[in-house]
């Protein structure tokens, strides 16, 4: 390999001095010690590691939250001043929640110009469903089943964040969850590992693009590794108690898909799994992630989760927590102060191998190199680009498209929808109908309050009808912020009479109800899944006045809406759809967009059913026997089935499935089976249908679910047309992980189902042989 001449350290990527003309003044190392070979990033990293002190290495493993207005004067006392000095001394490798070109440039200039080695920061941020221009919450996006739209949504979010100086997002959250009481279901893709895996890959590719050094892409994070979505009782930060079969077949597949898509970082969860905090789980991080999967990026803790291992009772103190975390494979500490304060002494005392520190720093530096930060630490910092990209009109069009695709039509008796565009008097009722803040949803810390298009505003753009708005009742009392506990209105019904009167005088009523945007998300667990406050009572009184009622739901999780499902003729699941909420809802209500969304999570009949999910295993007594009315697996006061199952969603048109064909009835365990079905649009509107394929392995060494999604295709079919949809089942779809985490494909009998949801479809069968 070619030898090259010596360079100042901070010209590692050969594109210029980067403003480091004072390099020799700031280091005791002569330039001739810095010779290295440039043909690989690994060589550059090794050269840098060779001249880093232990303290500087540990500094790269330390992430601080933004702690002062960085374009203003530096802090002069307290912990903020200590953090500031750490920044100047090269003891910080990353910062989070610093945003905007001016702010990021200020902190980047400190480390570039004042630290000994000038290693650039990587700037992290929670870009969950958009930056300034907001897409629907991730659970809503998952309802689209449109992988290209989801990828594009993440691409828009990445562009705006990157243009604001951010290099790295703590997304996507790929936790599978079956419990809607857990508030963070809004941040994921629902209950199914196959759909979740496809969406995880799409989001990673959207954030990171084809070239991570592109200044409009950002590094992605697969979180929370692992099991966080199985928090016991749906209670935030609680332990997860699952077996290895569930771990390998349900929890891990979306993480593996993210890794295969090239995700650059992983994040731990707050939970305990199998008695060990996942932040300290060597089995998860070293054995599975870094060894078995060959992950080359780095792992970051969740916020202070290293120190919290002491609260769990897993470590005696913060020092031992730091030791456990590094040994487990956590490469960067988010705001626990554990690494920066404890690791140097642990190494010097001989209690921690410095090789583990080196491995972590190599991983962190690699991502910084791949982002191009060593080429130019200011490459993301262009104020003109920031003005041009953030809030670009094309981004509004993209998130509007995503919002329309995310809407699910749950019920439409007597074709009440779509609404007529002329000649009707429509009563629009509900505080959420005129709300411009709640529809933005949770996790939107870079957006501006009250910037959503409200449902009322969206409907007002259709001028052919007379609209009358009545709030009916406030949803919450007082000012709402991300960090406060919501104070719901449970007593003030003074607006009921006006709302009922408006409903009585209208041809049709559109009532918007559901959760506030800040009622779901982190720390927002619920024991009830009903309509909060006085909304249910208002809904019933409005229905009594006018049964031509359309219920538009705003929510971040599945709700128990059994009364509405039984009584209200039309129900539209509109989630929290982001910036363009009202325009998307109005276009669906008026039929300018035919809804095609399908549920990514089952809706329970009541909270007592939870968790209820489609891909459950059979019990030994799954069915009611003719001569035994009691001793079978059931509730005495509720059905077993969900109110609305996974994969369910209606359209303004109808689809008929026919001619399910398998190209063979028998194949080897290493072979393939091709499945085809014809789908005909038998209704009056052009429409899209998510054609879903499920299998059931009838008997195996590990009990398999009654159904498993193994393929889907979003197809657009004009009125009267028929399309043939084809699937191929390979060992990748037909196998499973056993209790030891080994992937196996076993001979046996299988059923295959193809239809429009998890509870319907045509059936076929085949057999696998050795």
Catalytic residues: 302
Q: Using the structure block, give the residue that is written with the tokens 């690791």.
A: 343
3-state secondary structure (DSSP) of residue 46: helix
Concatenating the DSSP letter of every residue in 57-108 gives HHHHTEEEE--S-TTSPPP-SHHHHHHHHHHHTT--SEEES--SHHHHHHHH
Burial 295-332 (b: 16+ CB within 10 A, else e): bebbbbbbbbbbbbbbebebbeebbbbbbbbbebbbbb
H/E segment holding residue 272: strand 272-273
H/E segment holding residue 111: helix 101-114
Decide: 209 and 162 in contact? Cβ < 8 Å: no
Which has the closest alpha carbon to 395: 129, 137, 125, 123?
129
CA dihedral 134, 136, 139, 142 (to 10 degrees): -110
Spell out the residues 6+ positions from residue 247 whose beta carbon is closer than 8 angstroms to its own.
Answer: 226, 227, 273, 741
C-alpha span between 513 and 674 (Å, rounded): 44
> How far from chain centre, in Å, is Cα 602?
17
Beta 673-681 vs 743-744: how paired, if at all? unpaired
Peptide bond into 418 cis (omega under 30): yes
Decide: 346 and 322 in contact? Cβ < 8 Å: yes
Q: Which two tokens stand for residue 594?
A: 């035919």
Strand order in the sheet with 673-681: 655-662, 673-681, 722-729
Decide: 211 and 218 in contact? Cβ < 8 Å: no
C-alpha span between 55 and 652 (Å, rounded): 63
3-state secondary structure (DSSP) of residue 282: helix
C-alpha span between 250 and 52 (Å, rounded): 42
C-alpha span between 692 and 288 (Å, rounded): 31
Q: Which two tokens stand for residue 8?
A: 């100042």
C-alpha span between 135 and 406 (Å, rounded): 10
Concatenating the DSSP letter of every residue in 214-254 gives STT--B-EEEEETTGGGBGGG-TT--B---HHHIIIIIHHH
3-state secondary structure (DSSP) of residue 159: helix
Give the CA diameter of the chain: 91
Q: For residue 604, give the DSSP letter.
A: P
Q: For residue 526, give the DSSP letter.
A: -
Spell out the residues 6+ positions from residue 253 whose beta carbon is closer than 8 angstroms to its own.
Answer: 193, 194, 196, 197
CA-to-CA separations, 57 to 28, 219, 306, in angstroms, rounded: 17, 21, 18
SS (H, E, C) 413-474: HHHCCCCCCCCCEEEEECHHHHCCCHHHCCCCCCCCCCCCCCHHHHHHCCCCCEEEEECCCC
């Amino acid at each position: 390999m070619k030898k090259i001449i010596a360079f100042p350290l901070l010209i590692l990527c050969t594109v210029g001095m980067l403003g480091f003309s004072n390099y020799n003044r700031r280091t005791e190392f002569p330039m001739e010690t810095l010779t290295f070979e440039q043909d690989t990033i690994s060589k550059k990293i090794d050269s840098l590691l060779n001249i880093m002190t232990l303290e500087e290495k540990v500094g790269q493993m330390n992430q601080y939250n933004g702690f002062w207005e960085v374009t203003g004067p530096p802090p002069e006392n307290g912990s903020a001043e200590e953090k500031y000095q750490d920044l100047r001394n090269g003891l910080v490798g990353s910062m989070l929640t610093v945003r905007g070109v001016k702010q990021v440039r200020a902190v980047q200039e400190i480390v570039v110009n004042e630290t000994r080695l000038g290693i650039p920061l990587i700037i992290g941020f929670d870009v969950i469903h958009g930056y300034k221009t907001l897409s629907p919450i991730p659970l809503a996006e998952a309802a689209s089943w449109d992988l290209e739209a989801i990828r594009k949504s993440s691409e828009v979010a990445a562009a705006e964040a990157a243009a604001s100086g951010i290099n790295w997002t703590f997304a996507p959250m790929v936790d599978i969850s079956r419990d809607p009481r857990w508030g963070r279901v809004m941040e994921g893709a629902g209950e199914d590992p196959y759909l979740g895996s496809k969406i995880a890959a799409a989001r990673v590719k959207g954030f990171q693009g084809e070239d991570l050094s592109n200044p409009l892409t950002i590094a992605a994070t697969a979180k929370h590794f692992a099991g966080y979505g199985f928090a016991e009782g749906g209670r935030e930060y609680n332990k997860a108690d699952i077996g290895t079969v569930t771990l390998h077949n349900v929890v891990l597949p979306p993480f593996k898909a993210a890794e295969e898509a090239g995700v650059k970082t992983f994040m731990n969860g707050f939970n305990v799994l199998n008695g060990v905090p996942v932040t300290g789980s060597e089995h998860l991080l070293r054995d599975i992630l870094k060894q078995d999967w060959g992950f080359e990026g780095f792992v970051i803790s969740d916020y202070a989760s290293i120190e919290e291992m002491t609260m769990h009772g897993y470590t005696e103190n913060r020092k031992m927590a730091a030791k456990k975390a590094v040994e487990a494979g956590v490469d960067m500490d988010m705001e626990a102060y554990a690494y920066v304060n404890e690791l140097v002494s642990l190494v010097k005392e001989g209690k921690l191998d410095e090789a583990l520190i080196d491995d972590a720093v190599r991983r962190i530096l690699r991502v910084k190199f791949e982002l191009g930060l060593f080429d130019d630490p200011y490459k993301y910092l262009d104020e003109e680009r920031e003005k041009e990209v953030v809030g670009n009109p094309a981004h509004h069009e993209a998130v509007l498209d995503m919002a329309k695709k995310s809407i699910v039509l749950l019920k439409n008796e007597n074709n009440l929808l779509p609404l007529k565009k002329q000649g009707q008097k429509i009563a629009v009722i509900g505080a959420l109908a005129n709300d411009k803040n709640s529809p933005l949803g949770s996790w939107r810390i870079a957006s501006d309050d009250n910037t959503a298009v409200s449902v009322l505003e969206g409907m007002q753009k259709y001028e052919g009808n007379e609209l009358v708005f009545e709030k009916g009742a406030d949803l919450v009392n007082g000012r709402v912020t991300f960090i406060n506990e919501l104070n719901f209105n449970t007593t003030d019904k003074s607006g009921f009479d006006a709302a009922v009167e408006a409903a009585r005088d209208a041809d049709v009523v559109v009532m918007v109800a559901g959760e506030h945007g800040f009622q779901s998300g982190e720390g927002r667990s619920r024991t009830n899944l009903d309509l909060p406050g006085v909304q249910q009572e208002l809904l019933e009184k409005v229905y009594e006045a006018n049964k031509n009622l359309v219920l538009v739901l705003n929510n971040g999780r599945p709700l128990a809406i059994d009364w509405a499902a039984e009584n209200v003729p039309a129900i539209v699941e509109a989630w929290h759809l982001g910036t363009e909420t009202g325009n998307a809802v109005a276009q669906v209500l008026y039929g300018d967009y035919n809804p095609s969304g399908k549920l990514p999570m089952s809706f329970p009949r009541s909270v007592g059913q939870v968790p209820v999910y489609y891909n459950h295993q059979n019990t030994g007594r799954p069915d009611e026997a003719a001569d035994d009315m009691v001793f079978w697996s059931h509730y005495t006061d509720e059905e077993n089935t969900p109110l609305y199952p996974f994969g369910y969603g209606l359209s303004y048109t109808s689809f008929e499935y026919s001619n399910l064909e398998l190209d063979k009835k028998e194949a080897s365990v290493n072979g393939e089976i091709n499945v085809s079905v014809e789908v005909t649009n038998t209704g009056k509107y052009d429409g899209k249908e998510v054609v879903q394929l499920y299998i059931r392995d009838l008997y195996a060494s590990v009990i398999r679910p009654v159904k498993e999604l193994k393929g889907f295709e979003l197809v657009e079919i004009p009125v009267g047309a028929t399309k043939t949809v084809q699937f191929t089942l390979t060992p990748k779809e037909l196998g499973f992980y056993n209790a030891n985490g080994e992937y196996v494909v076993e001979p046996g009998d299988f059923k295959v189902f193809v239809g429009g949801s998890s509870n319907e479809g045509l059936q076929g069968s085949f057999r696998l042989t050795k």
